[in-house]
Structures are given as C-alpha cells and as structure tokens.
Amino acid sequence: MLKQNQPQTTYDLAELLKGEEGTYLAQRAGQTFVVESQAGHSIKSIVPVGCIEPSQVPAGSNPPWTVTRIDNLTGQETGGQQRTFRAS
C-alpha cells in the first residue's frame, strides 16, 4: 500500500496502482497528472494538470513515473461528487 505524501518511482503506473484506492499525483517527463485508482481498476481516471506539452523525451526511452498519494478518498466516499484539482 502506498503511503500518503511518500513518493514512489515506477516504470509501470498501472502495475504500481493495482489494488490501490485513492488519488495520486503522477509526474513523468515534465508532465503532471492527477490519477484516481479504485479496487478492480488500477487507473479509474487520469487528468492532466496544466498544459500538456509535446514530449521532450527521446524516442525509444521510457522515463519513470514519480507517484505520490495525495488523498485516500475515492468517489464513493465523497458521495460521488466531482472534485477539481488545480496546479498552484
């Protein structure tokens, strides 16, 4: 289980979130995403934060993801209300 506010590094985001539930900040190659996971769905949703820039990663390379749990709540625990995340 991933602990809140403790970054993990992985090359396979879906594998890292398999069996996890919660909200995560995922960063890769200068891009940032908010990812929600739910039991039975390693990635329930993935939303970019800010502008998506063309990748500056050389072709054929596979940079790692840095993933940090930012919230333990899932949609069911918030009554299904949509939450909005904004970059500061």
Write out pLDDT tens, residues 4-47. Answer: 889 999 999 999 999 999 999 999 988 999 999 988 888 999 99
> Looking at the DSSP assignment, which residues form a beta bridge with residue 81?
none
Distance, in Å, from the CA atom of 19 to the CA atom of 10, rounded to the nearest integer, reads: 15
**pTM summary value:** 0.74
Q: Does residue 36 belong to any structural domain of this protein?
A: yes
CA distances from 84 to 23, 41, 47, 59 (A): 12, 21, 10, 33
Q: Does residue 77 belong to any structural domain of this protein?
A: no
Residue 17, number of CB atoms within 10 A of its CB: 26
Q: Does residue 81 belong to any structural domain of this protein?
A: no
What is the number of domains present in the chain?
Answer: 1
Distance, in Å, from the CA atom of 5 to the CA atom of 40, rounded to the nearest integer, reads: 23
Q: Does residue 27 belong to any structural domain of this protein?
A: yes
Q: Does residue 37 belong to any structural domain of this protein?
A: yes
> Which structural domain range is residue 41 located in?
8-52+62-71
Q: Does residue 88 belong to any structural domain of this protein?
A: no
